[in-house]
Structure 1
């Protein structure tokens, strides 16, 4: 789903079910993305896996920037995400601030020039055979006048409809690999 929210902001979203995975397991995953572990689908006797293997084509790295116990993402801590989209044609490296990470939501924001420019929200809840996941990306400034001008004039050159479509595809593939 792609829509233009108020004052020119873009919202893109995707949803899916991650089978055999509880919301607590999803929270643990976000909290421990930097760590290496082994997993064979049943126990911890398989090959090493990491953030990169969660989405092998797009994910490059997650690096905690603050917090001594931060091993991926942690509430009220900063991390750096490096990813590549559009078959390696677009590379991003952004510092993110985790606002919430618990058994229902994982949300972070990206600030530019002191303003919040992006909110990435992950929502998950228990469902019969796993967890229902919904991810939403809201891009644009929510600042009177300056935000409206930025969102309508500049934002389409930075975050186009095509970029949003790449993000949606990325998120659908990522959620599919979560199992």
Structure 2
């Protein structure tokens, strides 16, 4: 795709003006994630390199943190299911990369739907985060969701690139 980045393609339909940057960042994360995960070797999904988190962890965390931040923006506490998901983000299982990418795509779609329904005055409402009830706002949570997604995408991209090169060199060694 030779398209400009999402933020250079114009407004996301029906998303309020003040939430356009967050929507653009989430959509950019989704597009890049799908591109980098294309043809990713599944056997390397949980591979930790140089003591860093695996690609699978980042995939799970991207979805989980977005879900949790949207919950806080609603003024709610995390559910037992969300706490369990958080606890299991680092634990390897048989979920493949395609399914993990799809879960993030679904969560981004949910976030955009929420953005579309959020009146501007709600963005200024105070919210708290976590067990310590740290102060934030609806807008702060939405923007942190977007920037946190971009941060983990960056980490995933580096790990993904490294692992793909490692897998390719490993495959080359077995051929000789």
Instruction: With the length of structure 2 as denominator, give the TM-score of the two structures.
Output: 0.34
Q: Which has the higher strand share?
A: 1
Q: Which structure has the higher relative contact order (CA within 8 Å, separation 6+)?
A: 2
Q: Which has the higher helix share?
A: 2
Instruction: With the length of structure 1 as denominator, give the TM-score of the two structures.
Output: 0.33
Q: Which structure's CA Rg is the greater one?
A: 2
